[in-house]
């Protein structure tokens, strides 16, 4: 994809990736899926949300975050004046693991470089918000605890990485609601800072190297 690709070219490239995902047989999850779930939203979104993997409802509908945690994500977005049409929402892997088990390393290896990394290259988000421990662990040190580093942005690879709790975890533990909402409310401030200065002020760096797309 050329550096100066038009919006139409970027949309076509994103659609082409979605078509590849829908036909994908790179890992065994293809045989148990109802629908692959490429992701949805703006091709030029400033914010990209990355969850773990499609669950039951997402697998049924072929769309990300359409179950209970998706409804809560919609509420959080509305709270900061956005809707899902303003952002891009996707997952680390694009097919539902049986019984919603954690994705396996070989499934991530088959999926992420081919799809998630390519999607991010086209969308060029200013802020990548990881939703939950699983997605966080791919971009932050494996030993980092979400209870310690949620809401602590990290600037790397010309974008902000911002670890957030998974909406499902907040639904399970309502004590996390105020924390999640505070973290969400900071998103626009971080983007404004990034737009003004081309970076953000560093917060205490995690102990190990951030793994990048």
- What residues contact residue 109 under an 8 Å CB cut-off, 6+ apart? none
Which tokens go with 182? Answer: 């505070």
Name the residue nearer to ligand URA (CB basis): 93 or 190: 93
User: For ligand URA, which is the closer residue by CB, 17 or 53?
Assistant: 53
* Segment contacting ligand URA by CB under 6 A, of 52-60, 115-123, 154-162, 198-206: 52-60
Q: Which residue lies nearer to ligand URA by CB, 125 or 155? A: 125
The reply to whether 41 sits near ligand URA by the rule CB under 6 A is no
59 contributes a contact to ligand URA by CB under 6 A: no
By CB under 6 A, name the one of 55, 62, 97, 163 that touches ligand URA. 55
Q: Identify the residue among 49, 65, 72, 155 touching ligand URA (CB under 6 A).
A: 65
54 binds ligand URA, rule: CB under 6 A:
yes
- Write the CB contacts of 145 (distance below 8 Å, at least 6 apart in sequence): none
> Which residue number, 69 or 118, has a Cβ lying nearer to ligand URA?
69
Tell me which residues in 154-173 interact with ligand URA (CB under 6 A).
none
Q: In the set 36, 46, 69, 170, which binds ligand URA (CB under 6 A)? A: 69
Binding of residue 58 to ligand URA (CB under 6 A): yes
- By residue count, the chain amounts to 213
Within the chain, strands assigned E span: 40-41, 47-51, 88-91, 127-131, 154-156, 159-164
Q: Which residue is nearest to ligand URA (CB)?
A: 51
Selected binder of ligand URA within 38, 41, 51, 125 (CB under 6 A): 51
| Eight-class DSSP state of 97 | P
Q: Going by C-beta distance under 8 Å and a sequence separation of 6 or more, which residues neighbour residue 97?
A: 29, 53, 103, 104, 107
Rounded Cα distance, 211 and 213, in Å: 7
Sort strands 88-91 and 47-51 into parallel, antiparallel or unpaired: parallel
Backbone angles phi, psi at 90, to 5 degrees: -150, -170
Residues in the site for ligand URA, rule: CB under 6 A?
A: 51-55, 58, 64-65, 69, 91
């Amino acid at each position: 994809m050329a550096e100066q690709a038009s919006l139409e070219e970027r949309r076509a490239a994103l659609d082409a990736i979605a078509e590849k995902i829908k036909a994908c047989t790179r890992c065994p999850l293809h045989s148990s899926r109802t629908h692959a779930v490429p992701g949805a939203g703006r091709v030029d979104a400033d914010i990209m949300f990355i969850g773990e993997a499609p669950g039951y409802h997402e697998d049924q509908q072929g769309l990300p975050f359409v179950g209970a945690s998706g409804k809560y994500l919609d509420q959080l977005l509305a709270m900061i004046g956005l809707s899902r049409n303003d952002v891009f929402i996707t997952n680390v892997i694009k097919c539902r693991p049986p019984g919603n088990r954690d994705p396996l390393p070989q499934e991530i290896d088959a999926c992420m470089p081919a799809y998630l990394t390519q999607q991010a290259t086209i969308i060029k988000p200013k802020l990548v918000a990881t939703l939950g421990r699983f997605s966080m662990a791919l971009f932050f040190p494996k030993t980092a605890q979400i209870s310690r580093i949620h809401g602590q942005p990290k600037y790397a690879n010309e974008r902000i990485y911002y670890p957030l709790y998974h909406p499902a975890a907040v639904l399970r533990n309502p004590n996390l609601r105020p924390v999640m909402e505070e973290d969400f409310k900071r998103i626009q401030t971080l983007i404004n800072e990034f737009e003004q200065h081309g970076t953000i002020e560093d917060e205490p760096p995690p102990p190990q190297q951030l793994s990048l797309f």
